[in-house]
Structure formats: structure tokens, C-alpha cells
Structure 1
């Protein structure tokens, strides 16, 4: 989990340094990247995922306080200060509930704090705003595993694979969960 958090933090910091795209341009870029992701070779998938994460992380709304709140939340999360991180991401959501990544960041913190049901509620909000959010779907899979809802976890990972067919972590989780359901040791 630490590697994932470090990766997401580095993508966020890179995204913050890049110029913002216009909303229409951003939507077109995401559509193009998701189309490429469907047919990408395994070696192309990481770069496409990073490009998608960049666009998701980029805050393009009018609220000038949100980038600072996001930075505060990400820094706190990297330091395992989950209470501060959750408060920062909750403030992002309050200020701009349409920003899907605010919900996704808080879902991650809630998972790390053991608030699985709260994490799932936030993931539902992410997916309502960005149904192709493979990161949120992977998180949903982890939540379902914690709840011992293995069929629900498999479904979440299958949905992620429908978006990103090269997602090895989702494929591996499905394989392990099917073994677990069959009573095989994993």
C-alpha cells in the first residue's frame, strides 16, 4: 500500500507542475487515453495510466484554496497522519463536490483508517462522477475483500479490467480470490 501511495503522491506532484487543460480539452484527452488503454500493449499501459492520473489530479475549478488543501492532504497521508488528511480532503469535497479526485483521495484515507464503509461510500461518489476510474474500482475491490465479500471484489476488479485490460494487479487479485472461493490456499 505504501508503494501505491508514494506513486500517487509523485503523480500528483508532477500533475501540479503541468499546465491546466481546458475542460473540453480535458474530457477529449481522457476519452482518447481511455480508448488507447483498451488496446494498449503491456509496456504502454503504465504511461497511459500516468497520463490519466495526471488529468484526474489536475484541479481546474475556480476555488483557489483547493490545490493547497489537496497538497496538505497528500502530505499528511504520506506521513500517515490520516486524521489531517481526511479533514483536508473533506474540505475539498465541501468546497467542490463535483471534483471526483477529492472523493477518491478521501476514500483512500478512509480505507487506511479502517473505515471501509465510509471508503465505499466515497468510491460510489467517485464512480458517479468518473465511471472509468480504475483506481476507485481497485479500491472498491480492496474494500470488498476486507468485508469478505469476495464476489463483490471480483466484480470490482472485472470492472477495472474492462477499462484497463492490462491491469495486472486486478487480474492477480481475481485469480487469488477465485482460489479463495474454491477453498484453495492462497
Structure 2
């Protein structure tokens, strides 16, 4: 193990201990939000945004709604976990994927129901060529949040690459049921439908 990874592992252990310490529970709480944001729970905000996404037919407006959903997913509700996610992003940007993986493992250990921890690790596994692990993490994402269109897109892409076109088509159909105006998903579904129709003639 490199000196850098040993250093990161030590820092992660300290943060985990800090997060688990009852005396420091206050430090892990999110920063106070505006009065408007406190009127609804994260689940209520997400439900409302998903309803808007499903009925929005303008592609640009739907993209804005999708971005707001992603922002909701990114906030873990823990200052410690949010910081670790920033570190993971920095490690990925610096092409230090093994370090990023160590950090995301810690994120998942600290917050096993935090959907974006699993999703980010699924994406990283995919980038590292660990397709089986990536699909396993995607399944965890969808168990926590079945409407996670990003995870569904990742699943469809991997299924298509594996030649499982019918399953990929189903994943894109699920995606479009949640996010109907996404043009790329529409195109992917259309291409798969044509390919499958051609293979049956």
C-alpha cells in the first residue's frame, strides 16, 4: 500500500471515529437550511420533483428538474459524509481511483442508506472495469431509490454492452417512465427496438 493510501486510510479511520462519537454527533449534522427548505422533508421534495419530471415535456426544463433531484441525492444529511464525497470527487478528478474507492467504501460504511454513495461507487467500479461490482452497486442504489434514473442508465448501458439487449431495453423503458423527455434515452430505446425487430425477421 502506498504512503498516500496509508495516510488516507488513517484520515478515514479518524473521521469514522469522529462520526461515531456521541459527543460529536452535533458536528455531523447538516448546516441549517432556509425556512422554505424546512417546510418539507427530503422525501416530500423528491416526490414533488419526480412528479414534475414525469409530466415535463420540455427537454431543457426537465433537465433543470433532474439537476435539482441530483442535488437532493447528493446531500447525505451528514457533514462528515458530504466531506468524504468531496474528497472522493477530488481523487477521481486527479485520477487516483484506488484512493477514491477507499473513501467511497468508508462513505458506504458510515451511511449505508445514502443512495449517492452507492451510485458514485458503481460509477467508479465501471470506470475501473469492475463491471460485476458496478452492477451489484447499481442494484443497491435501486433498492434504496427505484427512481434513480442515473443508475438505470448505467444498468442499461452495461446490459447493452454485454449483448443483453432485451434487458437493456427494459431498463431504458423504466428510465423513460421516470424521465420521459430525456432525448438520449429515447434514442437508445429506439435503436434497441430496431435492433431487436431486425433480429427477429
After TM superposition, is the score higher than 0.5? yes
Question: Once the 2 structures are TM-superposed, how far is the Cα of residue 178 of structure 1 from its aligned partner?
Answer: 2.6
Are 2:51 and 1:72 equivalent residues in the alignment? Answer: no
Are 2:147 and 1:132 equivalent residues in the alignment? Answer: yes
Aligned to 1:57: 74
Larger RCO, structure (CA 8 Å, separation 6 or more): 2
Normalising by structure 2, what TM-score?
Answer: 0.76
Asked which structure has the greater CA Rg, the reply is: 2
1:26 to 42, 62, 65: 42
Are 2:107 and 1:92 equivalent residues in the alignment? Answer: yes
Unaligned runs of 5+ in 2: 1-29
Normalising by structure 1, what TM-score?
Answer: 0.81
> Using a 3 Å threshold, how does the CA distance of structure 1 residues 94 and 46 change in structure 2: closer, same or farther?
same
> Using a 3 Å threshold, how does the CA distance of structure 1 residues 111 and 22 change in structure 2: closer, same or farther?
farther
> C-alpha offsets along residues 124-183 of structure 1, whole Å, 9 cap, x if unaligned?
100111111001100111111222211111111110100011111211111222333345
| RMSD, aligned α-carbons | 2.3
Return the alpha-carbon distance in structure 2 between the equivalents of residues 164 and 77 of structure 1: 28
Q: What count of residue pairs does the alignment treat as equivalent?
A: 167
